[in-house]
């Protein structure tokens, strides 16, 4: 298993992964988004013998001077969950984000992530890494799902 930054050559496999495993539609829109994230080094991929088995997208929020980043999505194929890979992937993204800020002379402040408040496994993973619950912010994505919970790690 290896974790690496996504490159342009990964776009096809990543879009296929998103379509097949996360039911993403509007692939043309996603392609542009993925390319922008790749240009900025904001996507990490997990590969097992060159096969894509998971990904993580992060993003610098608002004014870069604030030193705030968000982990937007993290997903592993079912067969690879519960083996410590998610922990490594999230830790790696936090390191990458801090480095991104430090490279431009900004003191990193925090990284946050939103998850559905009933996603107990994800919450455990984030807590294990050092994220703390900040509060729920309502059903911002869907009415038929529990509220979104914000978790953050301050540096």
CA distance 86 to 29: 27
101 vs 131 by CB, closer to ligand COA: 131
Residue 10 C-beta: closest distance to ligand COA, Å: 18
Q: Map the footprint of ligand COA across residues 50-89, applying CB under 6 A.
A: 74-76, 81-87
Residue 35 C-beta: closest distance to ligand COA, Å: 23
User: Given candidates 8, 124, 132, 133, which one binds ligand COA under the rule CB under 6 A?
Assistant: 124
Stretch that binds ligand COA, among 32-40, 61-69, 115-123, 139-147 (CB under 6 A): 115-123
Residue 76 C-beta: closest distance to ligand COA, Å: 4
Residue 109 C-beta: closest distance to ligand COA, Å: 21
Q: Write the CB contacts of 37 (distance below 8 Å, at least 6 apart in sequence).
A: 6, 43, 57, 59
User: Given candidates 111, 122, 149, 152, which one binds ligand COA under the rule CB under 6 A?
Assistant: 122
Residue 22 C-beta: closest distance to ligand COA, Å: 9
Contact residues toward ligand COA (CB under 6 A) are: 74-76, 81-87, 115, 119, 121-122, 124-125, 128
């Amino acid at each position: 298993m290896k974790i690496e930054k996504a490159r342009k050559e990964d776009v096809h496999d990543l879009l296929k992964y998103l379509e097949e495993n996360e039911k993403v539609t509007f692939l043309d829109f996603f392609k542009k988004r993925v390319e922008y994230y790749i240009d900025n080094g904001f996507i990490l991929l997990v590969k097992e013998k060159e096969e894509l088995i998971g990904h993580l997208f992060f993003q610098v929020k608002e004014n870069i001077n604030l030193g705030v980043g968000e982990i937007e999505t993290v997903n592993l194929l079912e067969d690879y969950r519960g083996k410590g890979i998610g922990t490594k992937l999230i830790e790696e993204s936090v390191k990458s984000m801090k480095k991104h800020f430090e490279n431009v002379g900004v003191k990193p402040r925090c990284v946050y992530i939103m998850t559905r408040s009933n996603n107990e496994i994800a919450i455990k993973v984030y807590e294990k890494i050092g994220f703390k619950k900040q509060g729920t912010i309502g059903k911002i994505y869907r009415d038929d799902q529990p509220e979104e919970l914000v978790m953050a790690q301050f540096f």
